[in-house]
Structures are given as C-alpha cells and as structure tokens.
Chains A and B, each alone.
Chain A
Amino acid sequence: MTAIAPSESTKLRAQTPGSMALKRFLRHRLAVVGLVLLGVIVLLVIFGPLIARFGPDEIDLLARNQPPGGAHWLGTDPTGRDILARTLSAGRVSLMVGLFSTLISVVIGTTLGALAGYFGGWVDNVIMRFVDVVMTFPSIVVLLTLAAIVGPGIDKTIIIIGVLGWPLAARLVRAKLLSVRELDFISAATALGANDRRILLRHALPNVIDVLVVFVSLGVASGILTEAGLSFLGLGVQPPQASWGNLLSSAREINILESYVWQWMPAGLLIILTVLATNFLGDGLRDALDPKAKQ
C-alpha cells in the first residue's frame, strides 16, 4: 500500500460550522436574491447624495409637481423638491429607524432573556410573566397612544419601536439559552471555577448569536413597516425630513394619490422591496443557521 503524500487536491478541508451554514444559505435561491436586493438598496440609499443631482430639501418653485423625465428623474413634489433625492434620503432614515430600534430590542431582550434562561427559577418566572403581559398587549394600540403622547420625531420613534419589540427577543434568547446551558462545555467551565458572569458572557451568549441574527433581520423589516405606518399617520418622522412613511402620507389626499403617482409610488415600492428582501434573507438565515428548527 503506497502512502499518498498530501497534495493540494487530497488535503482535507476542515468544515467549520460557519462554512456549512454558508453553504446551506447559498442553496436558498430566494435568500440570496434577498441579500443581493438588500445590498443594492442599501448602497443606493447610502450613496444617494452622489446619485441624485439635487438635494432632498432643495425647493424649486418653478418646477412644482413635474412628472418624471428631464432633469428630475422621478419628478418633483408640490414644492419642487426632487423625488429621487427625497426618496433616497428617506430610505436612509427608514433603514436607520429599523436598524436602531431593532438594536434596542436586542439589547433589552437579550439581557432579560439571558437572565431568565440562565438562572431559571423565580428569576425566570418573574421575567417571563412580564414578557407574557407585554406580548399580550396589543402593540398597535400602545404604539399609537404612546406616539400621540410622547410626540413625533426620529429619536422618539426609534425608542418606542425598540421598546415594543424586546419581548420576542427575550423569548428567543431564553429558549436558546435553556438548551445551551445543558451543554458540556458549560459544565466544564463551571467545574473549572468560572463564575456566572464569565460563563454567560464568554461561553453561553456567543451561542445565542445565530438566533439573534435571524431576529435582527426580521426585526429590521418589522421596524421599517412600523415606522412607515407611524410616519404615514404623522406620528413618526416629521417633514421636512423625509422618510418612506411620510412620503406616502401625501397620498392620503385623493388628488395626489390619483394624479401625482410618481410622488408616492417610489417610496411605496421601495418599502415593499426592502421588506421583501429582508424577509427572504431572514428566512434563509434561519434555515442556514439552525436547520433543525421547524418552520
């Protein structure tokens, strides 16, 4: 039996969980499409000021309500501002609100969920009762009422949406932690004398990241939708600052809805595309990172 010297073609490639997950992800055509689509939208939105030839707040009363074509690629609004510029600038705002509100939900939810999942006992009971109550509460109603009392504005909107989203994150983190804490390496760490804080931060929580990644992707989608809804009603982002929601609110008037389609449709289409992309992405991520999880 001749020994075969290892060469490039016969060397075994180590399969890390990361690369396996990546392979599973890439098999999902829709998820890849979602990722690409989202990437395109994010790039468009970030480089908006370079793409659009006008500023989002440049008023030009001589060019009011122009349909698409000519200098203004997507037309103008009632004060002559370029729709393309406004829509892209609005995208920045909407995406930011979606992202940061989800981050708030993640921070609060992970903290509470980790405490509940890791320590169990009465801590778990108290926290989960709290989560149940907050989850049962109809979020739309609370959302609108809070927004009415607290007032509009980007920061307040981010906080309100974030504060309403944490219960789901807490539940997901807790569930994951309940299974993680039974694993051997946790017992090993305890046996070696690690205190609770070290175990949580260094060993348990890093394993929760896959659940959180899925949550973030779906949470951003949900945050964008919620911001759009609030701004549409006048409670979220205020003009002149554009957001996809308040660009759509101009369509509340029937004559704008009917006659000036270009003023609101781009924002609407972008919302649908972004949320669709994020949903595909989130679905793909969920299947890639945790194939055992049932739909």
Chain B
Amino acid sequence: MGLYTLRRLLVSIPLLLVISAVVFTLLQFTPGDPLDAYIPPDQVLSAQQREILKIDLGLDQSKPVQYFKWLGRAVQGDLGYRIKNGQPVLAELGRRLPPTLLLMGLGMTVGVVLGIFFGIIAAVKRYTLLDNTLTFLAFLGISTPAFLAGLLGMYVFALKLGWFPAGGYQTPGQGGVLDILRHLILPAIILSVTYIAILMRYTRSSVLEVLFQDYVRTASAKGVRSYRVIAKHVLRNALIPVVTVIGANIANLIGGAVFLESIFSWPGTGQLYLDAIDSRDYPMIMGTTLILAIIILLANLITDLLYGLIDPRIRFS
C-alpha cells in the first residue's frame, strides 16, 4: 500500500505542474498589465517604482523565468489582488471555500448514499416496475443540467411550496446551525441528483454482475440469509468500480456547485468565480481556477488511494 501511495503521489506532482503551467499560459492571454495584479489599489506607484516592482517580480524576464517566479509566489500564497475590491485573492478564496465545501460535502454524501441504495434496490428487483421507474428517473437525472434542476427545484420547493428558503446562507438577523442547515438542504439535495442518477445505473449493473458469481451462490447455498449475503459479499465487491465513478464525477460536482451557488445565492467559491468572470477580474479568475484544479486533483488522488485500499488487486498492477 505504501508503494502504491508513493507511485500515485509521484504521478500527481507533474500533473500539478502541468495544471499550473496551463493556468499561467491562460493568464498571459488575459488583457491588462500583469503588474497591476500585484499592486494593492490604494497605492499609487510612480513610474520608477513600477519599474522596480517589475524587475522584482521578474516580469521583465523570459516567459519560463516568469512562470517559475509566479509559481514561487503562488506557493507562498501570493496570488495578487482582486481588481474589483483590492482584497488579496487568496484571502477571498479562504473566506469562500468553507461554504462550498459544506455544500459539496453534503451533496456528495447524500448523492453517494442514495445513489448506491437505489442502485442496489434496482438490481435486486430488476425488471420490475420499481426498477424501470428508477432507471427512467436516472435517465431524467442525467439529462437535466445542474442549473435547470436548481431552477426547477427552487421554483417548486421554495417559491411554490414554501418548504425551504429561496436562497441565501442564513436568515438575516438569525443564524445558527439549524438556520444554515435549512438554507443548505435544498441546494445540496439538487446537487446530489447528478450523483444519484449516475451512481444508480453503475451500482445496478455492478451489483447485477456480482449477484451471479459463484461465491454469492455458495454463500446463499450455505444458508447465509439474503440480507447478509447482500451486505457482506455482494456489496464489497460491487462497490469497487463504483468508487472510481464517484471520483470521476467530482469535477461535475464542482461544476454543479458553481451553478447552484449562483441560483441559490450561496456565498461560496462558485459564486465568487462567476462574479469574477462577470467583472473580468482576471487575477481572481486565475486564482480560483488554480485552486479548483488543485482540489479536483486532490480528490482524484484520494479516490485512487481509496480504490487501492478497497481492491488489493490494484496495488500490484
């Protein structure tokens, strides 16, 4: 396991560098003087001071050198300042990351649990009306883009039925865990829909494959009760490919979160990102892109490691 972890880590590092290189390249195409990104807006520098800053930042040198200097600064946490309000980019990100992680965490948990649960039911009761209904709903779920699900969800559950507040982080004047939870539930559930839809189909086919294996038959023949057979033998093996699917769709989850944060006015990284794009706030855009890409990379790494943990065959491939 240790060697496998090491290998995966080693592969991730060049990938990280490639991502940073791509972000840096994109940064070169944004309009505006890159120097301005590093000057807090309440300071006005004379031409001579700008020259000095320019040399200090390495902006007068070749592109590869610039890249390394930029990388060095980024690693130390200096991603420049927002054009919009002059706040340091990293600080803004730091403020906005927790709500997004909360939303994604709840969405993913609900999505994974329900997706696997329904997938198992669909497999065990295959070809019945329940299975067909669930499969159809799964198709529906994949066919609905996240933002549309968000609009529909808000329309039905918040505006028409009034079960949940129509967006925001907490009720002004209140606050507290329960209040935030009330605001969190609807967007989180909508976010989970994608996962439920995708996981249901994969779990179903994976469970079906395992159900007819010999070792399941043996357990059943030996008299182990159905429920235990499913829980202990079928699930552990069926869930192996499912873990990969979960990891592969984390990028989708982040994409969905971006849209849903906009619709539900959830003060997270996604909303920050869209806001920056709207106001062409390039330092912010680039900083967020870098952070999001890193998060996805980390998530993929964790998924790979989990996969190696669950399926011993992978560690030696």
Contacts and interface: CB of A to CB of B under 8 A. Distances in A.
Interface stretch (B107-115, B123-131, B145-153): B145-153
Given A138-B293, A145-B285, A272-B140, A258 B252 contact: no
Contact of B143 (A258, A272, A295): A272
A140 B255 contact: yes
Interface residues of B, number: 45
A142 B19 CA distance: 10
Binding site secondary structure of chain B: helix
A136 B300 contact: yes
B288 to A, nearest CB: 8
Contact of A137 (B19, B142, B145): B19
Interface string B157-174: 001000000110000000
Interface string A116-147: 00000000000000000100111111101111
A271 to B, nearest CB: 6
B292 interface: yes
Given A141-B296, A149-B26, A268 B251 contact: no
Contact of A276 (B29, B139, B167, B300): B139
B148 to A, nearest CB: 5
Contacts of A252: 262-263
Given A136-B15, A258-B155, A261-B155, A279 B142 contact: yes
A85 interface: no
B289 interface: yes
B145 A140 contact: no
Interface in A127-177: 133, 136-142, 144-149
Which of A136, A146, A279 is most buried by chain B, counting CB atoms within 10 A of its CB?
Answer: A136
Contacts of A234: 278
B289 A233 contact: no
Given A257-B154, A258-B155, A140 B26 contact: no
Interface in B275-308: 277-278, 280, 285-286, 289, 292-293, 296-297, 300
Interface in A93-136: 133, 136
Nearest to A273: B143
A276 B143 contact: yes
B292 A138 contact: yes
Interface of A: 133, 136-142, 144-149, 221, 225, 228-229, 232-235, 248, 251-252, 254, 257-258, 261, 264, 268, 271-272, 275-276, 279-280, 295
26 contacts: A133-B15, A136-B297, A136-B300, A138-B254, A140-B251, A142-B289, A144-B258, A145-B26, A147-B277, A148-B277, A228-B147, A229-B146, A229-B255, A233-B259, A233-B262, A233-B274, A234-B278, A235-B277, A252-B262, A252-B263, A257-B154, A257-B155, A261-B155, A275-B143, A276-B143, A279-B143
Interface of B: 15, 18-19, 22, 26, 29-30, 139-140, 142-148, 151-152, 154-155, 159, 166-167, 205, 251-252, 254-255, 258-259, 262-263, 273-274, 277-278, 280, 285-286, 289, 292-293, 296-297, 300
Given A138-B296, A232-B147, A248-B151, 8 more contacts: A136-B15, A138-B251, A144-B258, A147-B277, A254-B159, A271-B144, A275-B142, A279-B139
